[in-house]
């Protein structure tokens, strides 16, 4: 077997080993993953609505939401959930991202004529890119970016062939347009325009390739287009979006590449340190590489522009041009940074011929695997406590046993029961088939958001930042409380005081939203609620208190 394939297979096996050994006891990311996407996919799976039409109602979060509120069924990632059991689909998606990332980076390396004499070094560079901790629900948006850049480079040089066009179709089918690819396509469009002006030639085939991408994305996102853009009866909560508060303001340029979190991939800050160290060495020895200089400028350029936008409050600039695009966050142009950084690293390294690069790359791959891959980091930490942090597994977070007990306890009342959640993510209930009035959804009706706000506004008024978070962002349509603001990591191993009399309009909760029960991670002291039962499970992340509205 070719040694390239051997190394790649070993990487995939090591990456997925926690799944094979731990099964549902595997540790996978919570934020923007188990608290949202995985619950959405489970709702769609269980209700057989992965491929339903745009206006098909989906029960679960926010009581009922239209199908176009969720990712397209024509995306490769979502198709996996239509073909395989839930956790298996998640694991296969991760494996595919690793494999595609590897060959994507190799394609770019060879296209840039960076194939080195020592084939092992080429393999290690590709393994390094493939072993980064990509967010799984971005698909190959970032993982395959090197190949996307290389294909357009070849198109501009009139060196394309049919395989490149097939790749573009595959990329569009396995990436997320408005979560990531929109920002890459915008950058590539700018590249095409600059190239056209520079060469005084209209690159017809390149433009056709760009149009092909947009056509495939339009087909994939047809539900979203019909439901959001062409549906006058739907007003989205995203109309209120602003990025002029919280984590989106007053960022400095260095924040964008030093943090190692580009909201689509995690990596160690060691990479920028090595890059800038190599650049300084090249400058000192007068071995400056034009390509490393280009990527250094791109890295700094994107970072400075985004830092300026975050300080002047224009991150939602598109909304000022097209109101429907108000929630497009220009921060996400930072998704270019990992590629710019790695491309710069390769060119800066290529400037020198020093020994030990294989060892350095191997150490970095080791760090990617066992420190930055969530599954390994917390599995190791559960056996050898290094971090003072305990996180739930896939099984303990979803608390299926307790939820089944709750459903059995409620019996015939269950079909007519609606729930809300106090300091326990609504995703847990929705994952297990309960109907909740709250939820973490990226696109839902503004009327539901306003209805929930009327019920909780007195409690939100106790904390200005919490109220702003709800009104000006609102993806988390949660029944927040000022005592534990936005704290939905209230696991049973934490020992916290009871939740004291949250100021909600309980009467309207019953009459307007039909809410019967509260699921709380903590005891609640309130004259408006009656404790029904506490559901415990030593293997669960939660102590679930079931309350009934009086």
Return the closest-CA partner of residue 423 out of 445, 438, 441: 438
CA angle 171, 174, 179 (to 5 degrees): 100
Residues 76 and 119 placed together within one structural domain of the fold: yes
Residues 413 and 518 placed together within one structural domain of the fold: yes
Question: Residue 520: which residues within 8 A CB-CB, separation 6 or more?
Answer: 421, 422, 423, 424, 499, 544, 545, 547
Q: Are 26 and 19 in contact (CB under 8 A)?
A: yes
H helices present in 112-203, as ranges: 119-130, 145-156, 162-173, 182-199
Cα 10 off chain centre by: 26
Scan for tokens 């030093």, then name that residue.
258
CA distance 137 to 97: 10
C-alpha distances in angstroms, 24 versus 28, 92, 399? 10, 14, 11
Residues 219 and 245 placed together within one structural domain of the fold: no
Amino acid 347: pLDDT: 87
Residues 123 and 185 placed together within one structural domain of the fold: yes
Strand partners, 175: 139
Residues 242 and 278 placed together within one structural domain of the fold: yes
Q: Which of 296, 319, 353 is where one domain is finished?
A: 353
Q: Are 480 and 461 in contact (CB under 8 A)?
A: no
CA distance 335 to 148: 14
Residues 465 and 534 placed together within one structural domain of the fold: yes
In a domain, 76, yes or no: yes
CA distance 286 to 508: 72
Amino acid 319: pLDDT: 64
How does the average pLDDT of the chain come out, rounded? 92
Cα 409 off chain centre by: 35
Residues 117 and 22 placed together within one structural domain of the fold: yes
Domain of 275 in residue numbering reads as: 235-353
Q: Which helix (H) or strand (E) holds 220?
A: helix 204-220
Give the 3-state secondary structure of residue 261.
strand
In a domain, 361, yes or no: no
Residues 133 and 205 placed together within one structural domain of the fold: yes
DSSP state of 265: E
DSSP string, 348-402: HHHT---TTHHHHHHHHHHHIIIIISHHHHHHHHHHS--SS-----HHHHHTHHH
Is the model's pTM score more than 0.85? yes
What band does 240 get if pLDDT is binned at 50, 70 and 90?
A: confident
CA distance 44 to 60: 10
Query: Ranked by mean pLDDT, which of 225-229, 236-240, 275-279 comes out on top?
Result: 225-229
Give the 3-state secondary structure of residue 70.
coil
C-alpha distances in angstroms, 335 versus 80, 218, 302? 25, 22, 10
What's the length of the chain? 550
Domain count within the chain? 3
Residues 15 and 118 placed together within one structural domain of the fold: yes
Rounded to 10 degrees, the C-alpha dihedral 525/484/402/412 comes to 60
Residues 118 and 170 placed together within one structural domain of the fold: yes
Kindly report, residue by residue over 38-80, the tens digit of the pLDDT.
999 999 999 999 999 999 999 999 999 999 999 999 999 999 9
What are the CB-based long-range contacts (under 8 Å, 24+) for 376-383?
376/18, 377/27, 378/27, 379/18, 379/22, 379/26, 379/27, 382/27
Q: Which of 335, 353, 371 is where one domain is finished?
A: 353
Strands 476-477 and 439-440, how do they pair?
Answer: antiparallel
What band does 260 get if pLDDT is binned at 50, 70 and 90?
A: low
Residues 333 and 434 placed together within one structural domain of the fold: no
CA distance 41 to 31: 15
Residues 140 and 287 placed together within one structural domain of the fold: no
CA distance 262 to 2: 34
Kindly report, residue by residue over 363-401, the tens digit of the pLDDT.
999 999 999 999 999 999 999 999 989 999 999 999 999
């Amino acid at each position: 077997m070719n040694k390239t394939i051997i190394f790649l297979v070993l990487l995939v096996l090591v990456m997925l080993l926690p799944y094979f050994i731990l099964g549902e006891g595997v540790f996978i990311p919570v934020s923007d993953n188990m608290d949202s996407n995985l619950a959405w996919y489970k709702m769609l799976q269980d209700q057989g609505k992965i491929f339903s039409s745009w206006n098909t109602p989906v029960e679960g979060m926010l009581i009922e939401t239209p199908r176009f509120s969720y990712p397209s069924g024509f995306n490769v990632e979502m198709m996996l959930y239509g073909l395989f059991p839930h956790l298996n689909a998640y694991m296969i998606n991760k494996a595919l991202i690793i494999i595609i990332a590897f060959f994507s980076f190799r394609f770019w390396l060879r296209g840039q004529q960076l194939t080195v004499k020592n084939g092992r070094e080429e393999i290690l560079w590709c393994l390094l890119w493939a072993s980064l901790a990509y967010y799984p629900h971005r698909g190959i948006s970032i993982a395959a970016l090197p190949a996307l850049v290389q294909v357009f480079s070849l198109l501009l040089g009139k060196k394309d062939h049919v395989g490149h066009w097939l790749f573009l179709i595959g990329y569009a089918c396995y990436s997320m347009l408005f979560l990531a690819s929109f920002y890459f396509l915008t950058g590539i469009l700018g590249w095409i325009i600059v190239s056209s002006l520079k060469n005084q030639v209209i690159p017809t085939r390149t433009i056709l390739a760009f149009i092909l991408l947009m056509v495939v994305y339009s087909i994939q996102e047809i539900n979203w287009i019909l439901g959001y853009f062409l549906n006058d009866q739907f007003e989205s909560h995203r109309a209120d979006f602003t990025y002029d508060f919280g984590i989106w303001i007053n960022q400095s340029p260095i924040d964008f590449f030093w943090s190692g979190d580009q909201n689509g991939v995690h990596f160690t800050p060691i990479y920028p340190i090595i890059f800038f160290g190599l650049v300084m060495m090249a400058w000192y020895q007068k071995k400056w590489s034009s390509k490393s200089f280009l990527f250094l400028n791109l890295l700094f350029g994107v970072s400075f522009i985004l830092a300026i936008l975050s300080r002047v409050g224009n991150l939602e600039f598109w909304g000022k041009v097209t109101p429907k695009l108000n929630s497009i966050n220009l921060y996400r142009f930072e998704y270019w940074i990992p590629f710019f950084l790695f491309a710069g690293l390769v060119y800066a390294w290529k400037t020198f011929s020093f020994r030990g690069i294989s060892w350095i790359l191997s150490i970095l791959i080791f760090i990617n695997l066992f420190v930055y891959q969530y599954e390994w980091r917390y599995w190791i930490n559960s056996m050898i406590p290094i971090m003072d942090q305990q996180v739930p597994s896939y099984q303990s977070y979803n608390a299926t046993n307790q939820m089944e007990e709750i459903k059995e306890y409620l019996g015939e009342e269950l079909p007519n029961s609606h729930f809300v959640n106090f300091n326990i993510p609504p995703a847990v209930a929705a994952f297990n088939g309960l109907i909740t009035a709250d939820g973490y959804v990226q696109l839902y009706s503004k009327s539901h958001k306003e209805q929930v706000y009327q019920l909780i506004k007195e409690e939100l008024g106790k904390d200005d930042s919490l109220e702003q978070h709800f009104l000006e962002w609102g993806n988390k349509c949660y029944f927040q409380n000022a005592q534990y603001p936005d704290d939905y990591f209230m696991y049973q191993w934490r020992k916290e005081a009871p939740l004291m009399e949250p100021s909600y309009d309980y009467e309207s909760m019953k009459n307007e939203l039909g809410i019967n029960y509260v699921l709380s991670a903590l005891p609640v002291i309130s004259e408006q609620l009656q404790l029904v039962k506490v559901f415990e499970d030593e293997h669960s992340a939660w102590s679930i208190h079931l309350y009934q509205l009086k």
